[in-house]
Amino acid sequence: MASRIALDVMGGDQAPDSTLRGALAACAADNPRRLDRARILLVGDEAVIRAKLAELEGVGLGSGDFAIQHASQVIGMAESPATALRSKPDSSIAVCVGAVKKGAAAGLVSMGNTGAVVGAATLGLGTLEGVRRPAISVTLSLTGKPVTLLDMGANREAKPQDLVQFGAMGAAYMRDCLGVENPRVGLLNIGSEASKGTDLLKEAYPLLEAEKGRINFVGNIEANEIFDSVADVVVTDGFTGNVVLKLLEGFSAFMLQLMLGELRAHQAQWGKEALGNLKKRIDYAEYGGALLLGCKGVVVKGHGRSDHVAVANALAVAARTIDSRVNEHIVEGLRAPTV
Amino acid sequence: MASRIALDVMGGDQAPDSTLRGALAACAADNPRRLDRARILLVGDEAVIRAKLAELEGVGLGSGDFAIQHASQVIGMAESPATALRSKPDSSIAVCVGAVKKGAAAGLVSMGNTGAVVGAATLGLGTLEGVRRPAISVTLSLTGKPVTLLDMGANREAKPQDLVQFGAMGAAYMRDCLGVENPRVGLLNIGSEASKGTDLLKEAYPLLEAEKGRINFVGNIEANEIFDSVADVVVTDGFTGNVVLKLLEGFSAFMLQLMLGELRAHQAQWGKEALGNLKKRIDYAEYGGALLLGCKGVVVKGHGRSDHVAVANALAVAARTIDSRVNEHIVEGLRAPTV
């Protein structure tokens, strides 16, 4: 089925429990973004999947109607991606990519080994027409207004032209999937002037300026401004992006710990609700995972720690990205002449 | 006086009020790290300084005994550093640097224009024997255990050898000023293996390994690990460091806002004390400012937003850095043969 989503059942720290529960949650009757079960292709060890689904039926979670595709191998979270992809051609990740390549699915969702997912998707699917390199795109909705950051680590290094394309791809995603009109694209830098930053950024700045007809480039933005809603899309190279992502992850976990400590020390009755709200705002599970933009096919990479809520959100992101035809719009945008 | 600290009274968003109150607070009888007034050289518009000190005396803050050095010009926070340094040779920043250069002071503290302070100090004082480039060093004590990060933005780009020296300088600071024995030095990267990251990092890794006799190199650390006390010193290039610093600044301000919002929404009585404790842990004012390590002289650059508490802390950092002879130890360390 052309709009089907292949789910890597075996990938992630809590797989296959989290992934199968996630698939069920994505299709639950009370889910406002409910997906039809026929849209999900479960990929992994078929015996394990069937046994686990039967167990979940036992606890009242109906399991019928999912399509299942067997994959005999699993790539571990800590394995070297290149080696694992070579030695395990029938891994659940590779089979998911194969399903998209063959047209049996339009997209895939994995909580597994990031390097393996990015590698398998980039090599197996290839890039969209006109796209030089795919980029990992993460949408944060910390402030209530979503901000999409890319590249968060698909590429170790980038060329100025790559940054321009990242801006175009991020803008297409924000427009199509999140309904942001004319998304503002900022370049992550250490100062606002065009002359600031590394050689890469100094070269990318005028290229982005020259694309103003199709990219709403608002100039350099500094890292603290990510929280000020001055841009809808923040473009950076994969190294810096990965540092930013991990820093946010580590710092938010640390802050929550610190708050819990203060609450305990003061025997405060601030309550679970308030803390829950905070956690929700800064929690990974709510983002629904990162998109690998620029591949021929929709690729959603969730966090290894994802629980079933995160898996269900990731499936919803994949469905929305497929349905809103982001990839077509990326190709059209890159093909159009600069106005 | 050889151990005197020149204070740029005119630098900072709230100057000269914050800086003069800070000088008074640093020397207050109830300050556990109390400095003698004779150690502080106030640099700036003499008439303004005298009038302000008289006003503060009126509110019960005695003001005698400070040495004052007139400077007729002020470099604004938003001025272009290079242009401002050329056109304002008698700026308070330049006069502070001049005082250190002449030996009238051993160090300087400024809350002013970062680029101007770094530029004036680097050019005016020169680097320590054996030091290729100075680095901005910031010590966070978020987790209760201090972590020193450098370079946080003195240099836009770095060579592998610079990163090695940043490690050596950061370790000397942690040992001398914060009493950390055999400080663990980590390289900020996007994975733990030696083969990870940019070409810069792949070249720096074996150089740091080769220095294991004098640098306690613990390998690559990822950005989330900054909060896990796996390293006492975290080395990075000035671009990445500046992004990290601004992201932490923006994110902590945002988190505090978010918490205040939740508190209000729940009409919670969590209390000022707990919030105050949190704020203290993540607040700039408590760090006492950034050190520009590697210059001939001690240079402390505080945040432009610094209040008098931050100014007093910055003066204490300068005093401790001078008294513990960090600079001598940096030079000795770089001169010593690798064991």
Give the domain extent around A86: 5-129+294-319
Pairwise CB contact (< 8 Å): B274 & A253 = no
Q: Is residue B48 part of a domain?
A: yes
- Quick one: how far is CA A176 from the chain centroid? 15
| Residues ≥6 apart with Cβ < 8 Å to B86 | none
**Chain B residues lying within 8 Å of A258, measured CB to CB:** 142, 278, 281-282
Chain B positions touching A266 (Cβ under 8 A) are 270-271, 273-274
Is residue A37 located within the same domain as residue A153?
no
State residue A273's pLDDT score.
Answer: 67
Contacts of A278 in chain B (CB under 8 A): 258-259, 262
Residue B1 is predicted with a pLDDT of 60
| pLDDT above 60 (res A338) | no
Average pLDDT over residues B272-281: 68
Are residue A81 and residue A145 in the same domain, yes or no? no
- Residues A96, A178, single domain; the answer is no
> Which of A199, A250, A281 is facing B227, going by the closest CB pair?
A250
How does strand B216-221 pair with strand A233-235? unpaired
Q: How far is CA B129 from the centre of its chain?
A: 21
Average pLDDT value for chain A: 91
State pLDDT tens for residues B31-72.
998 999 999 999 999 999 999 999 988 776 666 789 999 999
Q: Residue A297: exposed, middle, or buried by beta-carbon count in 10 A (0-12, 13-18, 19+)?
A: buried
Q: Does the pLDDT of residue B2 top 90, yes or no? A: no
Note whether A312 contacts B: Cβ–Cβ < 8 A.
Answer: no
Residue A287, domain member (yes or no): no
DSSP B152: S
- Alpha-carbon gap, residue B160 to B166, rounded angstroms: 10
Compute the distance between CA of residue B76 and CA of residue B78 in angstroms, rounded to an integer: 6
Contact (Cβ atoms closer than 8 angstroms) between residue A99 and residue A93 = no
Cβ–Cβ under 8 Å, residues B255 and A247: no
- Whether A140 and A21 share a structural domain: no
- List the CATH number of the domain containing B255: 3.40.718.10
Chain A residue with Cα closest to B196: A156
Question: Is A119 in the same domain as A208?
Answer: no
Closest CA to B315 of B13, B20, B1: B20
Instruction: Look at B222 and A246 and tell me if their CB atoms are within 8 Å.
Output: yes
Q: Are A107 and A300 in contact, with CB atoms under 8 Å apart? A: yes
Handedness of CA A110, A112, A118, A122 (dihedral sign): negative
Whether residue A312 sits in one domain with residue A199 = no
A235, A258, A277, A281, best to mutate vs chain B, most B CBs in 10 Å: A258
Nearest CA in chain B to A268: B270
Q: Is residue B338 part of a domain?
A: no
Q: Which residues of B touch A249 (CB under 8 A)?
A: 224
Task: Identify the band that residue A264 occupies on the pLDDT scale cut at 50, 70 and 90.
Answer: confident
Is A190–B246 a contact, with Cβ atoms under 8 angstroms apart?
Answer: yes
Q: What is the pLDDT of residues A195-217, one digit of tens each?
A: 999 999 999 999 999 998 899 99
Residue B333, domain member (yes or no):
no
Backbone φ, ψ for residue A311 (5° rounding) = -65, -45
C-beta of residue A316 within 8 angstroms of C-beta of residue A288? yes
Determine the residue of chain B that is closest to A224 in CA distance.
Answer: B250
CA atoms of A271 and A43, how far apart (whole Å):
40
CB A197 within 8 A of CB B156: yes
One domain, residues A99 and A120: yes
Q: CA torsion, points B147, B150, B152, B158, in degrees to nearest 10?
A: -160
| SS3 at position A179 | coil
How many Å apart are CA A302 and CA A289, to the nearest integer?
Answer: 4
Q: Mutating which of B255, B273, B275, B279 best tests the A interface, going by the most A Cβ atoms within 10 A? A: B255
Task: Provide, rounded to the nearest whole percent, the portion of chain B with pLDDT above 90.
Answer: 76
B32-37, long-range: CB within 8 Å, 24+ apart, which pairs? B33/B316, B33/B319, B33/B320, B35/B5, B35/B315, B35/B316, B35/B319, B37/B64, B37/B65, B37/B66
Give the pLDDT mean for B116-143.
94
CA distances from B61 to A167, B24, B39, B110 (A): 55, 7, 18, 22
Asked if residue A72 is part of any domain, the answer here is yes
Tokens of B132: 């290729």
Q: Domain for residue A331, yes or no?
A: no
The whole-number average pLDDT for the span B249-274 is 74
Residue B252 banded pLDDT, cuts 50, 70, 90 = confident
Q: Which structure tokens are listed for B337?
A: 């043969």
pLDDT of residue B336: 73
A115 and A215 belong to one structural domain: no
Q: A4 with A39: CB under 8 angstroms?
A: yes
Residue pLDDT, tens place only, A126-180: 999 999 999 999 998 877 789 999 999 999 889 999 999 999 999 999 999 999 9
Residue A287, pLDDT score: 63
DSSP state of B176: H
ipTM (interface pTM): 0.87
The Cα–Cα gap between B219 and B214 comes to: 14
β-strand B67-70 against A298-301: which pairing, if any? unpaired
Same domain, yes or no, for A70 and A101?
Answer: yes
Confidence of residue A65 (pLDDT cuts 50, 70, 90): confident
B300 and B212 within one domain: no
SS3 of A299, please? strand
Whether A289 maps to a domain, the answer reads: no
**Tokens, residue A15:** 């797989």
Pairing of strands A298-301, A290-293: antiparallel
Domain-embedded: residue B157: yes
Tell which wins on pLDDT, A57 or B184. Answer: B184
- Residue B208: pLDDT over 60: yes
Residues A190, B223: C-beta atoms closer than 8 Å: no
Determine how many CB atoms are found less than 10 A away from the CB of residue A240.
26
A142 lies in the same domain as A242 = yes
Contact A125, A210 (CB under 8 A): no
Q: How many domains does chain A have?
A: 2
Residue of B149, B121, B148 lying closest to B134 (CA atoms): B121
A42 and A171 fall within a common domain: no
Question: What is the Cα–Cα distance from B21 to B17, expressed in whole angstroms?
Answer: 6
Q: What is the mean pLDDT of residues A309-337?
A: 91
**Which residue from A330, A329, A332, A321 is spatially nearest to A108, judged by alpha carbons?**
A321
Q: Is the pLDDT of residue B267 over 70?
A: no
Confidence of residue B339 (pLDDT cuts 50, 70, 90): very low
